[in-house]
Amino acid sequence: MEPNPPEGGLRQRRHFGRRKGPALSAHQAGLLETLLPKLRIEPQSARDPRSYFSVAVSDLWLKIGFGGGEHLLWQAEAHPRVGLVGAEPYVSGVAKLLSKLATVPAPNLRLYTEDATDIIEALPDASLGRVFVLFPDPWPKTRHHKRRFIQMAMLDQLARVMKQGAELRFATDDNGYLVWTLERLSAHRGFQWLANTAGDWRTRPSDWPQTRYEAKAIRAGDTCTYLRFVRTH
């Protein structure tokens, strides 16, 4: 077991939980063998991230944890000139997205199936135009808070790789994680909260499609919060 550095250390214990879920269908298992290798990237610090894609892209966005891929695929289709990288270690989620991509290809979409920290560390400065962290695992137990994705050291790294004016989008249905995130992002000099009224964080923007997890939370009666922060300086 690796030691757990304090919150200030970037290489914290992994922030994701299980990697495997229900058994995959034969079709899904086949896509992991045939389609995934064509879409999977290997982050390299000396490589221009725009070269990951088979089409020319004018900007690069990163989605950290894409679940079943609904939101990621929507963004790729809505922004064909933007290159999107989705990082998701959960095999069932990757398989679900591959099933969609098998019939609706997205040449501006690439996948990474390990820890998103690898991508962030490899990216050059000021290379991202948008980052999505939507409904991450809140790790509600106090002893697990070190595994939350939003940490001050991680925000330092995101500030490094995000362009000035780039947007960080965060959503949660967990009040404890909401408070945790607001405390850290409000204290970080590299980000500014884009909220003037309560509606700015209670209402999901029109270019922010609902995810499967969000729909499940709403059906359960949970309150979802949508935060948007801009990279300032």
Residue 231 CA to residue 189 CA, distance in Å, equals 9
Determine which one of 59, 115, 137, 200 is catalytic.
Answer: 137
Residue 63 near residue 84 (C-beta atoms within 8 A): yes
173 is an active site residue: no
Q: What residues are labeled active site? A: 137
